[in-house]
Amino acid sequence: MTDLSALETPAVLIDIDRVESNLRRAQDYADQHGLKLRPHIKTHKLPRFARRAIELGAVGITVQKLGEAEVFADAGIREIFLPYNIIGARKLARLRALAQRINISVTADSRETVAGLSATFADAPQPLNVLVECDTGMGRCGVQSPAAALDLAQVIAASPGLHFGGLMTYPAAGKVEQNAAWLAEAVDLLTANGLAPEIVSNGGTPDLWRAHEVTAATEHRPGTYIYMDRSQVARNVGTWADCALTVLATVVSRPTEDRAIIDAGSKALTSDTLGLTGFGLIEAYPEAVITGLSEEHGTLDLSRCTDKPRIGDTVRIIPNHACVVSNLFDRVHLISNEQLVETIEVAARGRVD
């Protein structure tokens, strides 16, 4: 074990005890409510944490890109859900190659997407499992009504090479009732039309602990829950003590009494605010505000701090959004009891396509 002060900054630290606790808490919750868990790996991009979630009871993983699916398939994960419209000859060929070695499911929200999938899988040995993506309030992808969900489900069910697998949504945070009502209506409508969905997949960490209120859902896909972050603490989904990912940074300048500059900028923390003021919480100086980020500089307002960091001090930052930080670092440091355990590559970092 090595002391953390030996690490160069900026660096990402992952507290593996907090990870374990976060994984268990969510699995226990899901088990208690008879929900399946299909965690999203976008937050960590690390096969070992996917394997651990599955050991604890997760039914598989969720990814957002073919490139991520390929990395996790290479790492031995056999059950992967890719809730995305896969479009274009090259991506469809990659999807078919993946389907030859793992169980992979995808989503569609249009006839165009379904047509491409069907053309690709019409002569495949096994049909591709395709869920209908539903816009239950997020305003992103998804069919716009339960009637449209039925319509597309019928198209999928009638398409060569495809199997209608159910419904999927990424809901708007905080709109649990609206999401639940939408899905319940859709399930009723599909069931009445002989297409009862096997899977109804709900997602997101913001409303993870209310997932059981979405009674039509058979499973949940949380992502950020494994690390938590400042935005989730702001929503009371987790506490500061649950936050497993921190960015270690060094104070490189104290130009004025009330200003400090750290060596973590937008290339370490990203510009994501998620509606919050400031770009993260400095653990040892919670009154400090990270008021601005350049690529390699973070600017701190220390005016409310009684104690203030000095040049050369290291600080630990809980970022607004943990997932995007994982995508910026080639390596992360696993820690336990404030000691370095191991430094590992972020296997699926930067898998953009």
Report, in Å, the least distance between residue 319 CB and a copy of itself. 12
Question: Which residues fall within 8 angstroms of residue 295, CB to CB, at 6 or more apart?
Answer: 265, 266, 267
Report, in Å, the least distance between residue 149 CB and a copy of itself. 12
**CA pair distance 155, 344, nearest whole angstrom:** 44
Q: Which is nearer to a copy of itself, 96 or 218 (CB)?
A: 96
Report, in Å, the least distance between residue 84 CB and a copy of itself. 7
Q: Answer yes or no: are the C-beta atoms of 206 and 238 closer than 8 Å.
A: no
**CA pair distance 178, 123, nearest whole angstrom:** 40
Q: Which is nearer to a copy of itself, 212 or 235 (CB)?
A: 235
Classify the phi-psi angles of 246: left when phi > 0, otherwise alpha if psi is within -120 to 50, otherwise beta.
beta
273, with CB counted inside 10 A (0-12, 13-18, 19+), is middle
Helix, coil or strand: residue 78: coil
Q: Which is nearer to a copy of itself, 194 or 255 (CB)?
A: 255
Burial pattern 142-152, b for ≥16 Cβ within 10 A else e, equals bbeebebbbeb
The tokens of 55 are what? 């050991």
Report, in Å, the least distance between residue 227 CB and a copy of itself. 14
The tokens of 69 are what? 């699916």
Report, in Å, the least distance between residue 7 CB and a copy of itself. 9
Binding site for a copy of itself (CB under 8 A): 6, 8-11, 42, 64-65, 84-85, 87-88, 90-91, 109-110, 112-113, 116, 135, 139-144, 250, 252-256, 259, 261, 263, 266-268, 270-273, 292, 294-297, 299, 310-312, 323-324, 327-330, 350, 352-353
Q: Which is nearer to a copy of itself, 88 or 286 (CB)?
A: 88
Question: Which residues fall within 8 angstroms of residue 353, CB to CB, at 6 or more apart?
Answer: 65, 66, 67, 91
Q: Answer yes or no: are the C-beta atoms of 274 and 321 closer than 8 Å.
A: yes
Task: Identify the bridge partners of residue 107 per DSSP, sorted by sequence position.
Answer: 131
Q: Which is nearer to a copy of itself, 110 or 336 (CB)?
A: 110
Report, in Å, the least distance between residue 34 CB and a copy of itself. 29
Q: Which is nearer to a copy of itself, 120 or 218 (CB)?
A: 120
**Nearest 10 degrees: Cα torsion 306, 311, 313, 317:** 70
Report, in Å, the least distance between residue 90 CB and a copy of itself. 5
**CA pair distance 37, 82, nearest whole angstrom:** 15
Helix, coil or strand: residue 15: strand
Report, in Å, the least distance between residue 13 CB and a copy of itself. 13
The tokens of 158 are what? 């009638």
Q: Which is nearer to a copy of itself, 35 or 146 (CB)?
A: 146
